[in-house]
Amino acid sequence: MTTISRTFIDFFLDRDHVPTTGSTLIPRLGDPVLFTTSGMHPLTPYLEGEPHPLGRRLVGVQRCLRTTDLDEVGDPTHLTVFEMLGSWSLGDYGSDQTLRWGYELLTTRFGLDPRRMYVTVFGGDDQVPLDQESLRTWQELGLPVELTIDDNWWSNGPTGPCGPDSEIFLWTGEGEPEGTPTTDDRWVELWNHVMMRYRRHDDGSLEELTQQNIDTGLGLERLTMLLEGKGSVYETSLFEPWMRTIPRLWKLDERSRRIVIDHLRSSIVIVGDGVHPSNTGRGYVLRRLIRRLLTILWQDNETRSLSDLPTELFEHTLNHFHQGETVTLVRRILIDEEIRFSNLLDRGRKVLSHERFHKSLDETDYEYLHDTHGLPRELVDSLR
């Protein structure tokens, strides 16, 4: 556990929170979602009222995987697999308490300057009024507040638990802070405090939950970037072995290097949680990540191979995420998938060289190529 994670956990342990156990990417049995996407995900039944065996105040570090942001991976802050620091109140304290603790932790334990902080609060709509309690708390603490509507409403999907949230932003620009979080992207979102007070039904209506909860999420990689004063998460100590090794191994532009590092690291973690490449479900997400990074690697040089990767990168990642899979096994799975993809590309090129495909392809062509030759649409498009 990093020093930053330890500081976060200890702060809440001192305030009677109990650490939650388990942080695998694989959701509980019966959950329709492929991977854990947020810190609250494993706690959904308890946020809906089921008593938690560890009590009503919880804290933890949860590894998460999101593919919804895949197109943004390569920018300074987005990652496919990341760690979320979280604190929860299951019907215990309210928004005033969580926001005051958040302010205290960031300013006194992590040493962030409150003059470089800005917060947003739910401004109200035709169903739910302005979040007066959060607004009053921040005003008492002396932070500037911006009211928004959609940006400060949290939900885990079209139905289910939801509620207003309050987000803490940090100024990352040069000189004195300017603008607001919605008008200047140099304000970087740091910590989200969700007041989970409602359940949304299929018809869009809201009902108040019998248990009023607090769910907070603070991305470890982004917090580390801000505390270390770096320009991207990739420049932080968390990625040190990757940034030391990959640029020496393969010459790539910055965005490509970030995507390759992210997808490799994410693939190691997914395999570390027991998932193998396949054509469906979790295995297909893993297969897409591996093929995506290989496509980038082979654009300039088809001799590049995952077998070039030193074992240090596998060891560093598996150790950081406390995973039990052996380096040899994880490495073997990735290299086997590389061989499979290379063979598929060779076959694809031969098939597509046929005169029949020297034209714009229609749905019948795509279906034939997939069903007869095992060539997915995105692969066919990349080869043409």
Q: Where do the domains of the chain lie?
A: 3-229, 236-383
Superfamily for 3-229? Bira Bifunctional Protein; Domain 2 (3.30.930.10)
Copy the structure tokens of residue 277: 């490449």
Give 25's contacts (C-beta < 8 A, 6+ positions apart): 35, 36, 63, 64, 65, 81, 269, 270, 273, 275
The pLDDT assigned to 22 comes to 65
- 101 in Cβ contact with 107 (< 8 Å): no
Report the C-alpha gap between 16 and 55 in whole angstroms.
Answer: 10
The pLDDT assigned to 248 comes to 96
**Torsions phi, psi of 215, nearest 5?**
-135, 115
Exposure b/e, 222-249, CB count within 10 A at least 16 = b: bbbbbbeebebbbbbebbebbbebbeee
Half-sphere exposure of 347 (CA within 13 A, CB side): 14
Query: Following DSSP, what letter does each residue of 184-245 receive, concatenated?
Result: -TTEEEEEEEEEEEEEE-TTS-EEEEEEEEEEEEEEHHHHHHHHTT-SSGGGSGGGHHHHHH
**Torsions phi, psi of 186, nearest 5?**
-80, -10
pTM to 2 decimal places: 0.90
pLDDT in tens, the chain (384 residues): 689 999 999 999 999 999 997 678 998 877 778 898 888 888 888 888 899 999 999 999 999 999 887 888 999 989 999 999 999 999 999 999 999 999 999 999 999 999 999 999 999 999 999 999 999 999 999 999 999 999 999 987 788 889 999 999 999 999 999 999 999 999 999 999 999 999 999 999 999 998 999 999 999 999 999 999 999 999 999 999 999 999 999 999 999 999 999 999 999 999 999 999 998 999 999 999 999 999 899 988 989 999 999 999 999 999 999 998 899 999 999 999 999 999 988 888 888 888 888 888 888 888 888 878 877 777 788 777
